Structure 1
Amino acid sequence: MSFEIERRFLVCQDVGRLCRNGDRIVQGYFSFDRQSRIRIRIRNDSAFLTIKGPRQGIIRSEFESNVPLPLAAAMLSRLPPETLIEKVRYTLPYAGLAWEIDVFGGLNAGLVVAEVELSHPEQEIILPHWVGREITYDARYGNSSLSVEPVSSWTQAA
């Protein structure tokens, strides 16, 4: 089992000119509670089963394994289509780190999130000019949360 250490931010500027060769991602959740999140993801022509443990600060345990693409497609087809997360992921290097930019589609269209994986929780980072508010600890922006409460359902106060 490995660990994921990441910080997440809203993208506050148009980064379209920076984003090239994105990966199309469709994913769905089969379990999400306080203990774990079980996700099936198709990324381009590959598929993965991921189990994430509870977050402790910015650290969470993560297990990921390749699965056959037809199996993943069959599993995702059993979920309500409106709960699937659709996005295109771009990778942008900045200040020695690889930033992942997720441009959401479907019921989360308009949402653009940047995340960066770190080596350790105290790692200092230089923020790109195109990132805005940090959402690392805002559960509403977690993909599993977005699958059941997409941004299109949020009120203006959110």
Structure 2
Amino acid sequence: MAKEIERKFLVSGQRWRTFADEGIAIRQAYIVAQDDRSLRVRIYGNGQARITLKVGHTALVRDEYEFEIDRDEAEDMLRHAIGNVIRKVRYKVPHEGHIWEVDVYEGVHRGLVIAEVELASIHDEPELPNWVGREVTGESQYSNQSMALGISEGARLHQLA
């Protein structure tokens, strides 16, 4: 069983772009969304597609099962999405032994930029880059699921400059 352990932060400024890769476009939608589990589909700009099941009550640690799927099947699954399809560009940014993923949202969430770092243990204390702001781990309005379901309109208003 795979465990996802991650922390999320708002991003402050543009300094992260100096160290970022070229980024990849992502379309993401939820097929099932409940308080303690979700099933999502993602289609990447490079043609890959994945389906992911996440189970757990905490934002810091959840069980995660992810599988590559056929792109045409993923496109078909988007038709069954609940809520909105999220569009974002994800950049990978190395910093002090960790790879940070910086998501730059488009559409209704344009302007929102969130950095996530995956950890090997809940006891990991990664060195925080000087371009991250307030930690938002566990704040539901910043979860992709909440944004897709339209219950986090306030998230885009709480950005750092």
For 1:41, the aligned partner's letter is R
- SS for the counterpart of 2:127 is coil
- Is the contact between residue 94 and residue 128 of structure 1 (CA under 8 Å) also seen in structure 2? yes
- Is the contact between residue 107 and residue 150 of structure 1 (CA under 8 Å) also seen in structure 2? no
Please say if 1:54 is aligned against 2:56: yes
- Is the contact between residue 31 and residue 80 of structure 2 (CA under 8 Å) also seen in structure 1? no
- Aligned 1:133-152 pairs, distance under 5 A: 133-149=134-150
CA distance in 2, matches of 1:157, 1:40: 26
- Is the contact between residue 90 and residue 101 of structure 2 (CA under 8 Å) also seen in structure 1? yes
- State the shift of 1:18 in Å: 3.6
1:83–1:3: structure 2 CA closer, same or farther, 3 Å change rule?
same
CA distance in 2, matches of 1:34, 1:19: 33
Q: Deviations over 1:6-39 (max 9, x none)?
A: 0000001123444331011001001111231110
CA distance in 2, matches of 1:156, 1:117: 23
Structure 2 unmatched runs, 5+: none
Match of residue 9 from structure 2? 9
Tell me the TM-score normalised to structure 1 length.
Answer: 0.90
- Is the contact between residue 30 and residue 145 of structure 2 (CA under 8 Å) also seen in structure 1? yes
Match of residue 89 from structure 2? 88
Match of residue 34 from structure 1? 35
1:57–1:104: structure 2 CA closer, same or farther, 3 Å change rule?
closer
- SS for the counterpart of 2:74 is helix
Structure 1 unmatched runs, 5+: none
- Is the contact between residue 48 and residue 64 of structure 1 (CA under 8 Å) also seen in structure 2? yes
Match of residue 126 from structure 1? 127
Residue identity (%): 36
- Is the contact between residue 31 and residue 77 of structure 2 (CA under 8 Å) also seen in structure 1? no
- SS for the counterpart of 2:101 is strand
- Is the contact between residue 108 and residue 150 of structure 1 (CA under 8 Å) also seen in structure 2? no
Aligned residues between the structures: 156
- Is the contact between residue 50 and residue 62 of structure 1 (CA under 8 Å) also seen in structure 2? yes
CA distance in 2, matches of 1:65, 1:17: 32
